[in-house]
Structure 1
Amino acid sequence: MRYINTLHEGETIRNIYLCKSKRSAETRNGKPYDTLNLQDKTGMLDGKIWDPNSQGVADYDEMDFVEVFGDVISYNGNLQLNIRQLRVAEEGEYNPADYMPTSENSVDVMYNELLSYVKQIENPYLRQAVEYYFVKDEAFIKKFKAHSAAKSIHHGFSGGLLEHTLSIVKMCEFYVHSYSIFNKDLLYAAALYHDIGKTKELSAFPENDYTDGGQLLGHIVIGVEMVSDAVRSIPGFPETLANELKHCIVAHHGELEYGSPKKPALAEALALYHADCTDARFQTLKELFKDKQTNDWLGYNRLFESNLRKTSI
């Protein structure tokens, strides 16, 4: 097995990867070619088949495990595989776990740490609302532990949703200890809940793609619906408190153009927005810089609206 993060320009390889996506197009001269996104647990690799009708290229589709033979080149600063041969691999020729990107941290350790914050919530209504999923719902817990936080931008790996949520709660803990304006219980509950809808917005690995519900509603609306389910199960849950918790979820993207139906109107909602934005951006940087051995400029990045590079030391 040759993992993607070990490949180097100039190599010729034969290996099995997951074909995460494919797109057929034509060159300016009208010749057909295929673009593939190849995946293993270490990352993604752009693949090109310049002659998809050749005898060496078998019929294949997205989400097939494919054995590819080709040359590793560098294009626009990124590695690319020019594929000369391709066949669909058979079961037993590959281990699916090799193709699922996973968190570098222990899922069980992270989840136990997350539960330590659940235990710090003193308000009985908010505590029960959080426990509804994170303590009592075994199916949800299993899904949450294995889920990604995004399709590709940040934390797009198994365990990514848990890792991201834990980071947000830790930042909120800092806010609570640094500024007296926050209600700890509401902020912790909102942090735990903020991306809960992603367990339904995105499908499980290896697909890790948008579901119909994800496309139609998005994780913010789904998350509010899930909060409502929990709240309805708790007798006497104060309506105002329920709306404040929902508002934090609704507003956690901060701006209308970023998908939030409402801008933050509570201190806790504003804190959650900044924590979410901070972790998402710095994790994105971490993934951009991963495996970069030099401090070369990476090129213009649309998210950061800037050309980026690592520091010289």
Structure 2
Amino acid sequence: MKFIKDFKPGDRVADIYMCKHKQSATTKNGKEYYSVTLQDKTGTVDAKIWEPGGAGIDEFDAPDCIDVFGEVTSFNGALQVNVKRARKCSEGEYDLSLYLPVSSKDNDEMFRQLLSIIDSIGNPYLKKLLQAFFVEDKAFIELFRKSSAAKTVHHGFIGGLLEHTLSVTKLCDYFCTAYPALKRDLLLTAAICHDIGKTKELSLFPVNDYTDEGQFLGHIVMGCEMVGEKARAIDGFPELLKQQLQHCILAHHGEFEYGSPKKPSIMEAVALNLADNTDAKMETFTELLQNVTEPGWQGFNKFFETNVYQTKID
């Protein structure tokens, strides 16, 4: 099959892709069309069905796999597929593994790096807590390594939670070298644990949607509870240390308007918020530019609330 990452303007598309999103919309002239996001393991691409009631357009919805015939075009500097025919496929016609987005980085290597950082933690209580999650809890480890970090926006792929966690932890480790006042053991433990609640907030692919628990509580509260539960099982775990760690998790979104139950009150919480925000924004911009065909202005982006630009150097 031709993977989305290899699409170029002018290409003919005649293959099976997963429908990640489908929405009915209306043109300025009042004509209905479908706006569709097609997905395979290499990425996503915007698609349009301009004649939704026409011959050759079957009924389908997300997350169906559909046999698509169309042409790749470029619109406002980004790839778009003009779909002429679309047929919902039956099980057995496709290999699902080809359509689930997966981190481009090696999962085993990322997890080895995370375990190496855990080994470097000196505080015995924090080290035991991390080992309770990432060495001893096999069910948690399986979920953590398969989970995405989000439904949309950034790291929304298998292994995304691990990739995001490792990046945030590495940024925090650098902060500790630049700002020696930071307590490295506390900050790195908080970084490694800051999004563990997402293993409960989001279901695994191919669904990758919010669970009931995720809707009611959210990953921040659930992560705080998970850390508290593990800490209580460790004999003699200092109460103040537990509270500081939980505070970092509760405050890692930084502002109330961004869903943070607390604003950062300690230096480590500020550092974690900055690292989390940095990695989220850099990955979001990276994913935004994946399907850009030409450098220059790419149009208004709702997440960044500005017109975004693909850098070009003459």
TM-score bracket for the superposition, by shorter chain length: over 0.9
CA distance in 2, matches of 1:11, 1:275: 40
Q: Residues 121 and 185 of structure 1 are in contact (CA less than 8 Å); yes or no, is this contact kept in structure 2?
A: yes
| Equivalent residue, structure 2, for 1:308 | 309
**Greater mean alpha carbon deviation, residues 3-12 or residues 235-244:** 3-12
SS at match of 1:297: strand
1:81 aligns with 2:70: no
CA distance in 2, matches of 1:125, 1:303: 39
**Greater mean alpha carbon deviation, residues 228-237 or residues 101-110:** 228-237
Q: Residues 295 and 309 of structure 2 are in contact (CA less than 8 Å); yes or no, is this contact kept in structure 1?
A: no
- CA gap of 1:140–1:274, structure 2 versus 1, over 3 A, is same
SS at match of 1:195: coil
One-letter amino acid matched to 1:129: L
Greater relative CO (CA pairs within 8 A, separation 6+): 2
Shift of 1:97: 1.6
CA distance in 2, matches of 1:119, 1:163: 18
**Greater mean alpha carbon deviation, residues 78-87 or residues 127-136:** 78-87
Residue identity over aligned pairs, in percent, reads 50
* 1:261-276 matched pairs, under 5 angstroms: 261-276=261-276
**Greater mean alpha carbon deviation, residues 252-261 or residues 92-101:** 92-101
| Equivalent residue, structure 1, for 2:63 | 63
Shift of 1:58: 2.1
SS at match of 1:240: helix
SS at match of 1:308: strand
Cα deviation digits, residues 14-35 of structure 1 (max 9, x gap): 1101011222344455544322
SS at match of 2:34: strand
* 1:1-313 matched pairs, under 5 angstroms: 1-27=1-27, 31-290=31-290, 292=292, 294-306=294-306, 307-312=308-313
SS at match of 1:235: coil
Cα deviation digits, residues 253-279 of structure 1 (max 9, x gap): 111111111111011111111111111
Using the size of structure 1 for normalisation, the TM-score is 0.93
One-letter amino acid matched to 2:9: E
Q: Aligned pairs, how many?
A: 313
CA distance in 2, matches of 1:299, 1:21: 21
CA distance in 2, matches of 1:108, 1:79: 32
CA distance in 2, matches of 1:182, 1:241: 14
CA distance in 1, matches of 2:288, 2:86: 29
Q: Residues 48 and 81 of structure 2 are in contact (CA less than 8 Å); yes or no, is this contact kept in structure 1?
A: yes
Using the size of structure 2 for normalisation, the TM-score is 0.92
Shift of 1:116: 0.9
Q: Residues 289 and 310 of structure 1 are in contact (CA less than 8 Å); yes or no, is this contact kept in structure 2?
A: no
